[in-house]
Structures are given as C-alpha cells and as structure tokens.
Structure 1
Amino acid sequence: MTSFSPIAPHLLSQPLGFPSSHYPPEEGNRWVRHSLRDINEKSSFHDRQYSWGFTIFRTVYTPESDEAFPKAIEALHHFANSYATEEISVKPLRNHDPLDPAPNEELARRFYCDIVEDAKNINGASPDDVAKRFDIWVQEHLQPEGQNSMKMGRFCFCIMLDQQGIDHLLDLRTGEASRGPYRNRLKPYVKVVTEAANWNEEGGERFWLRVGIKGHLFGLAFGWPEDLDISELGNPDPTDGIHNMYGMWPFDS
C-alpha cells in the first residue's frame, strides 16, 4: 500500500462552506477542496488513510485477460486523473484568473486502488460471491469506530472487473466508445457491488449496479449523501431489473 500523509490545510475548503455550483467558483470553496477535506476528516476510521479509490476484484482469468487486465487498471487511473483535473482544463472566463491546479493535482495523486486477484476462488464469480469477499476486506481495513460513521466510498462500493468491464475501460481509453454523440462516452460501465448493509431484501441477493466510468463512477469513491438510500442510485433496467447508473441524466442506456 502506498503511504499518504495528511493533506496540507491550504489545499482544503474553507470551514462551513458548500461546494460552489457556478463557474468560476470561489477559489476557497471548490468541490475539489471539499473532496480533499472529506479525505482528511474520514481517514481516522480506516487504514487506507488520506487516499480515495476502490477495491477491485478481478473475476476473469484467461490468457487474453492476463494481457488486458493491467491495461484496464491503467485506463481506470487515467480516468480518475481526468475526473480530478478536468475543471482546470477549462479555459478561464474573460477577466477571471485561472483556477489553482494544486488541489486537483493533489486529488489525482491520492487515487489508490486495492487489487484482489484470486483465480482459484473468484474466477467467474457472481456479484454475490464478490460481495462476500468484499465484506471480509471491509472488516479487515475499517476501524470499529468507522462502522457507524460516514465512510469513504471504498468501504461502500467495490468494482467487480469482469471481461465486459475490462473491454469497456479499454474501448473508452482507445476512443472506440467515444465516437459519435457525446452521450456515447457516458455509456461504458463497470459493475459495482455494494457493502453488506445494503442487501436486496426482496431477492435475497446483494445489490449491485452498472456504473458509467466517465459520468458517475468516481463520485462514488466519496460515498453518498447520508439521507439517500443506496437503492435509489440508478434506474432499474427494463430487461433484468439491475440498476443502471450510466448515460445521460436521469440515466439512460
């Protein structure tokens, strides 16, 4: 595990503020500074301190995936970097100073994922199988006092990376999925499995969903609002009932 130190105070948001919803935002009240503050404040509850990201469970083991899987992980890091730094690539409005890139670069630097590879036990695993392994991982890395606290998203969601997810990451990275209308770039997804507290009571199986890589995935790394039921994320697919959280709002396929 890469070791990270606490985030310097000058990179954080001002106290008692909320992320600005207009552009350009006040420099001290930008979403990226609030995200860094979130990382700092929640790091006492777990041993993946001062970072953000996911645990990734590899569920496909073939000669082709042996070559493609590392490239997919590289693509995931590329998109995390884009998520963290995209706003500073926007040309400033006339008579406005450029945004300070330091907090964006700091957020990008602190993206970290745990990779779980176990060909014997999770080759071809179902979401329920991955969920059980995820439960064990959470218990190993989340401090007891963090159980009832607002957690970083890595303890709420994990990525189940199968062949389809690998293909979507690589297609998006190479531009194969980015041709045509803008909405096409928001369709490639990975499968995300939820924490133990969110079992699907009706079917008895773990709640999981398809999450768009470009549009929605990285926001989940910071958890979700306290008053939101996780089953409200995405829309049920008309064919199989699995929640889709990709495409344009309010999530289309």
Structure 2
Amino acid sequence: MAQLPPVDMAIASPTPRFPGDVEPERLSRIALRYLTPHDGSHDYAYSWGYTVFRTAYGPGSDEAFAKAIERLAVYAKRFTQDEHARLRVGQGAFDPRPNEELWSRYYCEEVQDEETLANATESKVGEVFDAWIGRHRRAATIGNGTSPSPNARFLFALMLDEESIENILELPEDPRAPVYRCTSWVKVITNRVRSAEEGCEGGRWWLRVGIIDYLWPMWFYPFDPDVMLEEMGWEEAEDGVQNLWGSPSDWFEEIMAHQDAAT
C-alpha cells in the first residue's frame, strides 16, 4: 500500500474551544488518535482495515468477491460518516474533516491464492494469516522497546467464503436504505489458537461478527481478547463458535436457549 502521512493532530485532537466542548471527543477524532502512534513494526502506518482471505473460487466467485469487497467498503465508509450534521445547541457548525480523514485511511489487503485457500477451513486460514503476519510484522524500531504495539490489523482478519460473501451481498448497496442491521455477519479469524482445554479439539479462535454494528468499531476499540472470544455475544451450540452479532437481547435469548438445552 502507499505510505500515508501522519495524522494531522489539529484534526484528531483539537483544543477545546470552550468549557464543555464535545468536538475533541467525537468518535471520529478518537479513532484518528488511535491511528496516530507508529512504532515502526509494520508498513501499514496511519491506516485501518483488515486483511481479507478469499476461500471461495467456484463459478461466478470472481465477480461475487469483488462486489463483496466493494460492499464492505460502503459500510466501512458509513461507519466513518455516522456523525452526520445536525443541530447541536451551542456547539457551532459541524466539522466533517475528521470523518473525511478517517475514511481516507481505510485500507483492506486482499489475499487470493486458489491453490492454498480454495475451500480452506478456518484453521487453515488462520495458519495463512500467521504466515502473513510473519512477513509483515517485525520488531519495533521507534520507542523504548522492541515489542510491537497492539494493532488490530495483526489481531483479526476476514475470511470470505461463500457464506460470508452471501451475507455481505445481502446488505443494500445504499447504506442509507432500511435494513435489519443485526443479521449480516462475516467470519473473523483471530491470531490465537485454541488449546485442547479450550474446546473444539484445539483449532483456531474465530468469530461471526456483525458487519454494521461490530466489525468496524472492533478494529478501533478491541475488547480484551479473552472477554471477546469467550464472553461477548453467545456461543453457537453446534460448533462452539462465538457469535458477535445481533442485539444484546438476542444474545440473552440464545444463551438461555443454550442453557435450557443443556439441562
């Protein structure tokens, strides 16, 4: 990817104009501040987005994959633009610059390798993700230590199999169109491997993550991995995978149903 310039701190962290000014704490500015540090441990400085591993290579999949990538970008942009202009008493005119700046730094890297990834399992994609991290992550060269700082690009990746692609393409092309926002999810592969004690006979930790509500905030505000992988959302009874989609009320219903089935 092309090297991006450092984040303009005048946009990311402006000085409050008056007591109680909410402008410096808008979510778009907080997200930009999250992108500000760079320790020299990778070549994706000042950007955000996921690495996308394509595993569907059947007839028509080239077009479907390309459309899915485009549709993801539409909803990533929606995430950056959610702070729409509206009347805010005493807060002055709405400043769109942080939203535009955040969107300009979106970048997803696509990995397409039919020989290696066609119909790959989640664990296989995790292994390829590990190898990708090994090629793109290095010791820190800026700061006091050599351990790289946490960066979501190296914690989570997207797996676009047929199911994920179908879910993405079910979302309207127009992000402003009415949609039941909780139901569309995509597979997210993590950089962690389950131990035998953690169930599912080892294998890769992965999640089903809601595209509209959770996928983009997760990049900027990652929860404690243990909490997110084991406690957020609900565990699918059939495969033990954590579902981070739907509303909290949906989670409660699924958890209670799972408990009832176990008794």
In the TM superposition, residue 3 of structure 1 has moved relative to its aligned partner by: 2.2
In the TM superposition, residue 166 of structure 1 has moved relative to its aligned partner by: 1.0
Q: In the alignment, what sits opposite 1:2?
A: 2
Letter in 2 for 1:186: C
Q: In the alignment, what sits opposite 1:73?
A: 69
Q: Classify the secondary structure of the residue corresponding to 1:75.
A: helix
Q: Are the counterparts in 2 of residues 59 and 162 from structure 1 also a CA contact under 8 Å?
A: yes
RMSD value, Cα: 2.7
Gaps of 5+ in 1: 18-23
Deviates more, 1:25-34 or 1:66-75: 25-34
- Structure 2 length as normaliser, TM-score? 0.81
1:172 maps onto 2:167 in alignment: no
Q: Are the counterparts in 2 of residues 39 and 152 from structure 1 also a CA contact under 8 Å?
A: no
In the TM superposition, residue 47 of structure 1 has moved relative to its aligned partner by: 1.1
Q: Deviations over 1:18-42 (max 9, x none)?
A: xxxxxx9711122211211111114
Q: Classify the secondary structure of the residue corresponding to 1:134.
A: helix
Q: Are the counterparts in 2 of residues 151 and 223 from structure 1 also a CA contact under 8 Å?
A: no
Which structure 2 residues correspond to residues 60-99 of structure 1 after superposition, within 5 A?
A: 60-87=56-83, 89-99=84-94
Q: Are the counterparts in 2 of residues 161 and 190 from structure 1 also a CA contact under 8 Å?
A: yes
In the TM superposition, residue 220 of structure 1 has moved relative to its aligned partner by: 2.1
In the TM superposition, residue 147 of structure 1 has moved relative to its aligned partner by: 7.8
Q: In the alignment, what sits opposite 1:153?
A: 152
Letter in 2 for 1:13: S
How many equivalent pairs are there? Answer: 240
Choose from 203, 206, 223 the match for 1:205. Answer: 203
Q: Larger Rg: 1 or 2?
A: 2
Letter in 1 for 2:52: I
Which structure 2 residues correspond to residues 82-121 of structure 1 after superposition, within 5 A?
A: 82-87=78-83, 89-121=84-116
Gaps of 5+ in 2: 255-263
Letter in 2 for 1:166: I
- Structure 1 length as normaliser, TM-score? 0.84
Q: Are the counterparts in 1 of residues 233 and 242 from structure 2 also a CA contact under 8 Å?
A: yes
In the TM superposition, residue 90 of structure 1 has moved relative to its aligned partner by: 4.9
In the TM superposition, residue 60 of structure 1 has moved relative to its aligned partner by: 0.3
Q: Classify the secondary structure of the residue corresponding to 1:136.
A: helix
Q: Are the counterparts in 1 of residues 35 and 48 from structure 2 also a CA contact under 8 Å?
A: yes
Choose from 124, 129, 132 the match for 1:129. Answer: 124
Deviates more, 1:150-159 or 1:110-119: 150-159
Q: In the alignment, what sits opposite 1:141?
A: 136
Q: Are the counterparts in 2 of residues 13 and 30 from structure 1 also a CA contact under 8 Å?
A: no
Deviates more, 1:28-37 or 1:144-153: 144-153
